[in-house]
Structure 1
Amino acid sequence: MNRRFLTAVLAVALLAGCGPVSTEPVDQESAPADEPMIAYVPLDDRPDNEERVVYLADSLGYELLLPERDDYQTRLDGQPLNENGTQYGDRADLYAWVLAREAEGCDRYILSVDQLLSGGLVSSRSMTGENPVTLSDGRTLSEAELLTELLGLLAADENNQVWLLDTVMRLAATTGYGGFGLNEYNALRTYGMAARPHLTGSELTVENIVADYPLGADGQVIRAEAEEPLPEGAVEGYLAARERKLRLSQTLFDALPGTEGRFHVLVGIDDSSEEDSIQKNEIAYLRSRLREGDALLSGVDDLAFKAVARLYLDECGWEGADVSVEYFGGTQDQPACAYDYQPLTAIMAEHFDFFDLRPAEPGAAELRILVLTQPADETKKDDYIQAVVRELEGDSAQTPTVLIDAGNGTYGTAFHEALTEKVQLGRLLSYAGFLDMAIVTGTALSHGVARYAFLRHGEQTDATERAFLRTVADSVLKDFCYKNVVRNDILNFVRSDLSGNADNFWTPDIDRDAVLERLESGMAAATADVIANLERSNFISALPSAGEYAERGWGGVELTNYRFPWDRAFEIGMDIRLGDFTEPHKQVLGIYYQ
């Protein structure tokens, strides 16, 4: 009886013109010529540092200017080198590029210090000693001289707003770069996690920190242990890379007096742990150097998101917001994975401070954040999932929502499947779940807070709306469809069928076209239901403070130009084409239709 009734209702809906439709994707319109520009030197060429930053900037009405990709891309071992003959970015070209933007009148900058001085994040973990840069005018400068000169030139223009992105070096360098292998990674990460002497007050100097690198908390020399003997000089090289990184961070802060309010430093803590590790004194030192407006936060791959969002908040007249946080799963008071050094609640609190968010009860909040943590009770996984779904299902409260999956893979695909079946995924202000949890928190909050602020203060256009929808589609589709479904198939295909290395398709050299074809066919199948959900979703297009509350309907979604950044299976890139917006979709028996 119930099935016949449902069939009849759906038939009536279809006859009434409310059946599911997929608007054909259209080419994206060009950005307006008068958009304010941001000159951006990325950390590297991975999607979180490249196209996803473009989407976020576009959604806020900015035009993001980037150098030529060859000047900032990273090449793993065995892959073709960049035009400068190295595996890392071209520091001389980037210096010249920034000055060219300054000459053109740009006055907004987001600059990765690791890219400018080391050619990217990965190379910053392995470079040691002095690595001079020869500029186009024939001068050769040390990295410290290059940084000091560049900042001085930018500081001469009082109109410039500059965000400088720096990092605390992670506990071990990158596998598959500079001959660094898994054995070295595991051994040196364990070595880095060992507690060091705890420095405070006047003892907290770069010289003392470096002197204590080899020592344990008891003052005795620590030995790095490995399943296989480490290459000669591995520990010494590791410590030398750390020292170089820390001294360049010292140079950065030394070069900034007189720039308060115009130059901002945002430091990210990369791959850490709960232990009193080799990072502990570094973090304490850098925290002591922060000025008003600077910040040191967990997460690195989300640094550019945070800088773009904060730049917009500072320019739009942002006065903060009352925001609620609800956790589901019961483990928010502990680190969400082995690469975090703080519990989720602490990471959340630090980001609240950075974005001027005020904790509020759910009923009094302007914006809400829902977080699914790892399960405190394995037998209640489904209960935790359903509790989140109930909060989102229908969402009659019209409260803008940020959703974070901090389960770190413990729910498999069950959470994603439940959301796809019952929730308007496209209605979320932001979503994140792909990477380590510190990065996930910063990613979700950057996008969510920026969108909320733009709804309150920004001028909506079709271009900004499309860019916003791309931020949502990119995060949802990659996490739901690639991370837990297609990637596993790619890993098995590369290792079993091609006898290759999923972390580098060039060592050995495999049939990369075959891997790409496997990706395209896998994503076509895995994304079908999620895309159907997005195409039936509505999104918030106006809030009461800017007029009447309003929603618009998503149109078609098409994914093209799949690619593997760095030629490895870890992550993918893709282009997202969107169709024309529709009138708000109607709900019939819990299902949204055109």
Structure 2
Amino acid sequence: MKKRIFAAVLACALLSGCGPVVLEDGGQTAERITVAYVPLDDRPDNLERAVYLAESLGYTLAMPETDDYRTRLQDQPLNENGTQYGDRADLYEWVLDQEEAGCDRYILSMDQLLSGGLVNSRSMWESEPVTLSDGTTLTEAELLDHLLTTLAEDKNNEVWLLESVMRLAPTVGYDHWDLDGYNALRSYGMVGRPVLTGDELTISNIEADYRLASDGTVLALPEFDLEEWEVSEYLAARTRKLTLSDQMLETVSQPGYENFHVLIGIDDSSVEDSIQKNEIAYLRSLLREGDALLSGVDDLAFKAIARLHLDETGWQGAKVSVQYFGGTEDQPACDYDYQPLTTIMEEHFDFFDLTAADPGTAELRVLVLTQPADETQKDTYIQALIQELDGDAAQVPAILIDAGNGTYGTAFHEALTEKVQLGRLLSYAGFLDMAIVTGTALSHGVARYAALQNGGVDTEMNRAWALTLADSVLKDFCYKNVVREDLIAYVRNDLGGNPDNFWQPAIDLEAVTARLESGMEDAAADVIENLEHSNFITALPSDQEYAQQGWGTVTLSNYRFPWDRAFEISMDITLGAFTEPHEKILGFYYK
């Protein structure tokens, strides 16, 4: 009850009717509009990275208490609600508190609100009622209905509903699933099913085909080393999730939901005609104009925040060129993408109202390093991209994507750090799968370009944008390809632990964090020096010249592992005051 009262008080304090939050910047007042945000989970892309992006566009994100949307892996300390997943009752009531306080902007993860997070949505194989703080019990269908109808009553609300197509297998180290079980179920899910079209696309037909191969024969479980109870739970979880998605889409298709926007992401997938194919087709058939179903889930919040900003600022689109280096853009970038890079890019272009253009006429450039078609030409691909990025076309703002999936080792990042102003990029992404990094890079880059185009970008917005870029570059260049490998070996060999879960068995968390800190201190030094000597665009061309400023100091601290595993990290980034533009002397930028 104390937690409930505190949440209500905090909501009022944060929102004050959800009106603008006022900040002072050099004597000029800038308004900040509050957006009520329920994250997918507590990983960095859904937490601090989302906050940075929102603040770079003039928004402030109001969020529930972290414990209400946190995910815990096996054997890790439980949340306050006594589970490994988010508190659906608290989250539901928190959203209603925001509405009562007068909020009119929402970005809501339905996986979190209905299942307690993305990971739990893959393992929740039967409906579980939700008991509210006053003792009222709601079925999941009732909770969803009450939530949507309540928000629809205020016609001033703009609501983004984020949903996902369940991936091919549950999460390793959660519930009872281990790596062998994950691999077995992923192989089972990857097999093509009978393809349904037109009137055949119903939930009951999709469910009936879950157990069938594409020729209509029943899939033999022993061939996948699976037991009946495992498959039954897995398929029941798929049915539950698809049924809730269907209810959501059917509800918002009714009159009165015109200000609701649905964005569905396809979770880890396969190029094969997998178990997802009919689900994707069915959900796509229910989308309204303005809704979208795209590859990638971890970038859903980025896409919603960016699109909210574009819609509210009268975005008219932009002409953008895309250049690929590496020669494999016509195929999926890794085993977890189900479309070629070019198709993923085209679908995201449609979502952001971007028009493909030649480099000579484009307002923006997207440069993508793919996996190498010829292993012997890796350096040639890298140098060609860098020449384009730092050559005559450098005046056109650039979005950079590393879709090499680790095939270039550290060579690409080292070359960029040596030869390119990293801090001048509009955005960068490379840490995750191509489907995710495309949405991440375009969300940040297009939103930044639109904000500059609109004018009125103040110092606080510039600083938040700089945090998004620094976070992405430092984690990909320094942690993913350098520090993480050392850390994994340290956990396994020195501590006798599991890099995928520091509680199986429990290891010295302080020792792991100290190893991370020392590793990042060494690995990040050159990248930080590059950023600190970079300039960045603060206004779009006037008389063919960009207004720009110089980066100041960049300091990293408070390293942590959000899920107590080595896969990803969080850290605090402190930026010094921006400077006058740095001058270039003998090919290097100096203060």
Place the TM-score, normalised by the shorter chain, in its bin.
Answer: over 0.9
1:249 aligns with 2:245: yes
> Match for residue 376 of structure 1?
373
In the other structure, the counterpart of 2:186 is: 189
Q: Is the 8 A contact 1:542 1:549 kept in 2?
A: yes
> Contact conserved, 2:401 with 2:438, CA < 8 A, in 1?
yes
Greater relative CO (CA pairs within 8 A, separation 6+): 1
Map Cα deviations across residues 394-413 of structure 1 (whole Å, 9 max, x no partner). Answer: 56641110000000000000
Q: Note the 1:41-190 alignment, pairs <5 A.
A: 41-190=38-187
Q: Does 1:456 align with 2:450?
A: no
Hey, what's the Cα distance between the residues in 1 that align with 2:48 and 2:256?
30
Provide TM-score, normalisation by structure 1.
Answer: 0.93
Contact 2:269 2:336 in 1 (8 A): yes
Instruction: Name the residue aligned to 1:279.
Output: 276
Equivalent residues of 1:42, 1:49 under 8 A apart: yes
* Residue 480 of structure 1, aligned match among 459, 477, 482: 477
- CA drift at 1:546: 11
SS at 1:128 equivalent: coil
Distance 2:206 2:508 in 1: 47
User: Which secondary structure does the structure 2 equivalent of 1:509 belong to?
Assistant: coil
Q: Does 1:365 align with 2:385?
A: no
Q: Does 1:505 align with 2:502?
A: yes
Amino acid at match of 1:409: G
User: Given the alignment of the two structures, is residue 203 of structure 1 paired with residue 200 of structure 2, yes or no?
Assistant: yes
User: 2:185 touches 2:226 (CA, 8 Å); kept in 1?
Assistant: no
- Residue identity matched to 1:575: D
Cα 1:407–1:266 shift into 2, 3 Å: same
Q: Residues 410-421 of structure 1 correspond to what in structure 2 (within 5 A)? A: 410-421=407-418
Equivalent residue of 2:360, what SS? helix
Cα deviation for residue 544 of structure 1 reads 2.2
1:525-564 → structure 2 map (5 Å cutoff) = 525-544=522-541, 549-564=546-561
Aligned position for 2:305: 308
Looking at structure 1, the residues matched to 584 and 464 of structure 2 have their Cα atoms a distance apart, in angstroms, of: 25
Q: Structure 1 residues 225, 462: CA separation in 2 closer, same or farther (over 3 Å shift)?
A: farther
SS, match of residue 486 in structure 1: helix
- Take 2:578 and 2:256, find their aligned partners in 1: how far apart are those partners? 44
Return closer, same or farther for 1:477/1:224 CA change in 2, 3 Å cut-off.
farther
Distance 1:536 1:583 in 2: 11
Q: Is the 8 A contact 1:537 1:592 kept in 2?
A: yes
CA distance in 2, matches of 1:582, 1:360: 34
TM-score (norm 2): 0.94
User: In 1, are the aligned partners of 2:266 and 2:294 still within 8 Å (CA)?
Assistant: yes
Give CA deviations for 1:118-171 in whole Å, capped at 9, x if unaligned: 000000000012110011222111111101110000000000000000000000
Equivalent in the alignment of 2:233 = 237
How far did residue 223 of structure 1 move?
A: 2.4
What percentage of aligned pairs have identical amino acids?
A: 71
Task: Specify the code of the residue in structure 1 equivalent to 2:502.
Answer: F
Q: Give the match's secondary structure for 2:574.
A: strand
CA distance in structure 1 between the aligned counterparts of 2:177 and 2:261, rounded to whole angstroms: 34
Q: Displacement of 1:459 after TM fit?
A: 1.6
For residues 318-467 of structure 1, the aligned pairs below 5 Å read 318-393=315-390, 397-467=394-464
The residue type paired with residue 198 of structure 1 is V
Change beyond 3 A, Cα 1:151–1:574: same
Q: Which amino acid aligns with 1:559?
A: L
CA distance in 1, matches of 2:506, 2:439: 36
Cα distance in 2 for partners of 1:261, 1:53 equals: 25
Contact 1:339–1:436, Cα closer than 8 Å, also in 2:
yes
The AA in structure 2 aligned to 1:417 is E
SS of match in other structure, 1:543: strand
Classify 1:306/1:339 alpha carbon distance in 2 versus 1 (closer, same or farther; 3 Å). same
Shift of 1:232: 5.5
- Alignment partners' CA distance in 2, 1:429 and 1:225: 51
Would the aligned equivalents of 1:261 and 1:293 in 2 still touch at CA under 8 Å? no
2:8 counterpart residue number? none
CA 1:147–1:458: 2 relative to 1, 3 Å: farther
> Are 2:295 and 1:298 equivalent residues in the alignment?
yes
Please say if residues 328 and 373 of structure 1, whose CA atoms lie closer than 8 Å, have aligned partners that are also in contact: yes
Q: CA deviation at 1:496?
A: 0.6
- Aligned 8 A contact 2:152 2:257 in 1: no
Distance across 2 between alignment mates of 1:258 and 1:398? 47
Corresponding residue for residue 267 of structure 1: 264
Deviation (angstroms), 1:259: 3.9
Deviations along 1:304-336, whole A, 9 cap, x unmatched? 000000000000010000000000000000000
The CA deviation at 1:195 is 0.5
2-structure distance, mates of 1:503, 1:119 = 21
Question: Contact 2:429–2:472 (CA<8 Å) still a contact in 1?
Answer: yes
Q: Which runs of 5 or more structure 1 residues have no equivalent in the other structure?
A: 1-28
CA distance in 2, matches of 1:85, 1:275: 39
**How far off its partner does 1:419 sit?**
0.2
Contact 1:455 1:546 in 2 (8 A): no
For residue 245 of structure 2, what is the amino acid of its counterpart?
Answer: S
The whole-number CA distance in structure 2 between the counterparts of 1:121 and 1:446 is 21
